[in-house]
C-alpha cells in the first residue's frame, strides 16, 4: 500500500510538472520534443514509470498499471490539445506569409523579336515557298569564276566596276551578289528550276543607303517558254503581299551582263499611292530590284539547251526592302543593334 500511496503522489507531482512545462512551450515542434522526452522508456518521467512495472509486487501490479496508464492518457490529451493549438496558429502564420495579392501587376517578361532584315527574309521565303520555290543557300566565299566569269562578266568586262569587290586572293573573293548561286544551281540541276537564294553579300561601298555587308535574295526560274511577262506577273503578286494590296510594278530598261534584256523594277509608292511624296521623291515610284531574262550565254555555259529552255532571274536587296517597309532612313540603323530601334519592328 505504501508503494501505491507513493505512486499517487508521484503522479500528481508529474502532472504539475507537465502542466508547468507545457506553459513554457511555444511551438508544435516543442510539444513533440517534450512529449518524446516524457514518454522515453529510460529517461522519461512517464516512460520510466511504465518500465518499473516489473519490479512492482504482484498484487499491486493491476492498480499500478491502471494509475500509470491514466497518467499517460492524461498527458497525451494535454499534449494533443496544445499541439493542435500550435499547429493551427502555425498554419495561419504560414498562410499569412504566403498570401498572394492577385491584383498586383504581373512581372513583365521581356521578349525579343527578330531583326527587321530577318523578318523581311522570312516573309519573302514564305511568299516564294507558297509559289513553289525551293531555297538554295550558297556560300559567302566564292571564286572569281562563279561570281563573275560564269555570269558573263570576264576579267576585262567593264561591268566589274559596278561592284567593288573584296578579293581574298586572285581566285577567291567575298561574293558581291547572290547571283553566283545561279551558276551552282544550274550546274547541279536540270530544268525546271525554281529557286530563291537568300544570303549576305559584300561590296566596298559605304554611305547612308549602302553598307559593305548587306543581304540579297536571288531568284531564278528556268523552264520551257519562260518570258519577261512571267517575271512581271510574279512580281506584281509578290509586291502586293509585301507592300499591300494595289501595289504594282514598272519595268525600266537596265543592264546586267547575265540578263538580256535587263530591267530595274520599281514599285508604285505604297506611302502616297503614286501621287508623289518624300518617300518616292515625288515620282510615285520606288526602285526595288534588278532582274531580267537569263542571258543565253549563261545558260549555255551551264549546259542548258537554249533552244528548249529560257529563264528569268532577279536580285533584291533585303535591307532596302526593310528600310522602305519600316521607314528607316539610314541603313546603319539596321546594323547598330540599338534595341530602341529594333524593338519597334514587329510584323
Least distance in angstroms from the C-beta of 245 to ligand PHE: 26
In the complex with ligand PHE, the residue whose CB is nearer, 113 or 163, is: 163
In the complex with ligand PHE, the residue whose CB is nearer, 18 or 313, is: 313
Is residue 259 near ligand PHE by the rule CB under 6 A? yes
Is residue 152 near ligand PHE by the rule CB under 6 A? no
Is residue 291 near ligand PHE by the rule CB under 6 A? yes
Asked if 310 and 226 count as a contact pair (C-beta separation under 8 A), the reply is yes
Do the strands 259-268 and 172-174 form a parallel or antiparallel pair, or are they unpaired? unpaired
Q: Pick from 138, 181, 257, 315: which binds ligand PHE (CB under 6 A)?
A: 315
- 3-state DSSP assignment of residue 178: coil
Give the interface size with ligand PHE as a residue count (CB under 6 A): 11
Contact stretch for ligand PHE (CB under 6 A) within 13-21, 38-46, 276-284, 290-298: 290-298
In the complex with ligand PHE, the residue whose CB is nearer, 49 or 291, is: 291
Nearest to 288 by CA among 342, 217, 202: 217
Which residues, 6+ apart, have CB-to-CB distance to 40 below 8 Å? 47, 48
Strands (E), the chain: 134-135, 141-143, 172-174, 193-202, 213-223, 249-256, 259-268, 285-294, 310-317
Contact stretch for ligand PHE (CB under 6 A) within 109-117, 129-137, 190-198, 312-320: 312-320
Would you state the cell numbers that stand for residue 130, as one nine-digit string? 507558297
In the complex with ligand PHE, the residue whose CB is nearer, 116 or 315, is: 315
Least distance in angstroms from the C-beta of 177 to ligand PHE: 4
Is residue 268 near ligand PHE by the rule CB under 6 A? no
C-alpha–C-alpha distance, residues 31 and 253, integer Å:
96
Q: Pick from 179, 197, 249, 295: which binds ligand PHE (CB under 6 A)?
A: 179
C-alpha–C-alpha distance, residues 125 and 219, integer Å:
11
- Alpha-carbon torsion (270, 273, 277, 282), positive or negative: positive
Is residue 173 near ligand PHE by the rule CB under 6 A? no
Contact stretch for ligand PHE (CB under 6 A) within 85-93, 190-198, 284-292, 338-346: 284-292
Would you state the cell numbers that stand for residue 343, as one nine-digit string? 524593338
C-alpha–C-alpha distance, residues 111 and 130, integer Å:
29
Is residue 211 near ligand PHE by the rule CB under 6 A? no
Q: Pick from 133, 136, 256, 309: which binds ligand PHE (CB under 6 A)?
A: 256
β-partners of residue 314 are: 219, 291
Which residues, 6+ apart, have CB-to-CB distance to 268 below 8 Å? 246, 247, 248, 249, 250, 274, 284, 285
Using CB under 6 A as the criterion, what x/- string covers residues 57-76 for binding ligand PHE?
--------------------
In the complex with ligand PHE, the residue whose CB is nearer, 28 or 152, is: 152
In the complex with ligand PHE, the residue whose CB is nearer, 46 or 289, is: 289
Q: Pick from 117, 183, 298, 313: which binds ligand PHE (CB under 6 A)?
A: 313
Is residue 309 near ligand PHE by the rule CB under 6 A? no
CB-CB neighbours of 162 under 10 Å: 14
CA distances in angstroms from 260 to 223, 249, 279, 299, 306, listed in the order given: 16, 19, 30, 12, 13
In the complex with ligand PHE, the residue whose CB is nearer, 218 or 319, is: 218
Is residue 328 near ligand PHE by the rule CB under 6 A? no
In the complex with ligand PHE, the residue whose CB is nearer, 79 or 314, is: 314
Is residue 314 near ligand PHE by the rule CB under 6 A? yes
Is residue 292 near ligand PHE by the rule CB under 6 A? yes
CA distances in angstroms from 240 to 31, 231, 247, listed in the order given: 79, 15, 5
C-alpha–C-alpha distance, residues 130 and 87, integer Å:
66
Sites of contact with ligand PHE (CB under 6 A): 177, 179, 218, 256, 259, 290-292, 313-315
Amino acid at each position: 500500500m505504501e508503494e501505491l500511496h507513493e505512486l499517487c503522489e508521484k503522479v500528481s507531482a508529474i502532472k504539475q510538472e507537465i502542466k508547468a512545462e507545457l506553459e513554457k512551450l511555444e511551438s508544435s515542434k516543442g510539444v513533440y520534443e517534450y512529449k518524446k522526452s516524457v514518454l522515453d522508456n529510460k529517461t522519461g518521467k512517464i516512460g520510466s514509470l511504465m518500465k518499473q512495472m516489473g519490479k512492482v509486487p504482484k498484487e499491486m501490479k493491476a492498480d499500478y498499471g491502471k494509475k500509470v496508464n491514466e497518467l499517460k492518457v492524461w498527458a497525451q490529451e494535454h499534449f494533443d490539445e496544445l499541439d493542435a493549438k500550435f499547429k493551427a496558429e502555425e498554419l495561419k502564420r504560414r498562410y499569412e506569409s504566403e498570401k498572394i495579392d492577385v491584383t498586383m501587376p504581373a512581372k513583365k517578361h521581356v521578349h525579343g523579336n527578330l531583326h527587321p532584315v530577318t523578318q523581311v527574309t522570312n516573309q519573302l521565303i514564305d511568299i516564294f515557298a507558297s509559289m513553289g520555290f525551293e531555297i538554295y543557300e550558297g556560300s559567302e566565299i566564292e571564286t572569281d569564276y562563279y561570281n563573275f566569269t560564269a555570269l558573263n562578266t570576264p576579267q576585262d568586262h567593264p561591268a566589274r566596276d559596278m561592284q567593288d569587290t573584296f578579293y581574298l586572293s586572285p581566285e577567291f573573293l567575298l561574293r558581291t551578289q547572290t547571283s553566283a548561286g545561279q551558276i551552282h544551281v544550274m550546274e547541279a540541276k536540270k530544268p525546271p528550276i525554281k529557286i530563291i537564294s537568300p544570303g549576305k553579300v559584300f561590296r566596298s561601298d559605304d554611305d547612308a543607303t549602302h553598307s559593305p555587308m548587306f543581304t540579297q535574295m536571288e531568284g531564278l526560274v528556268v523552264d520551257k517558254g519562260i518570258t519577261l511577262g512571267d517575271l512581271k506577273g510574279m512580281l506584281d503578286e509578290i509586291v502586293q503581299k509585301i507592300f499591300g494590296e494595289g501595289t504594282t510594278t514598272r519595268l525600266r530598261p537596265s543592264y546586267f551582263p547575265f540578263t538580256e534584256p535587263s530591267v530595274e523594277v520599281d514599285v508604285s509608292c505604297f506611302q502616297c499611292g503614286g501621287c508623289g511624296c518624300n518617300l518616292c521623291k515625288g515620282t510615285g515610284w520606288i526602285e526595288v530590284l534588278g532582274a531580267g531574262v537569263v542571258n543565253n550565254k549563261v545558260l549555255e555555259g551551264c549546259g542548258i539547251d537554249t533552244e528548249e529552255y529560257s529563264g528569268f532571274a532577279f536580285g533584291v536587296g533585303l535591307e532596302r526592302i526593310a528600310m522602305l517597309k519600316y521607314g528607316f532612313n539610314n541603313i546603319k540603323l539596321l546594323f547598330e543593334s540599338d534595341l530602341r530601334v529594333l524593338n519597334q519592328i514587329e510584323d
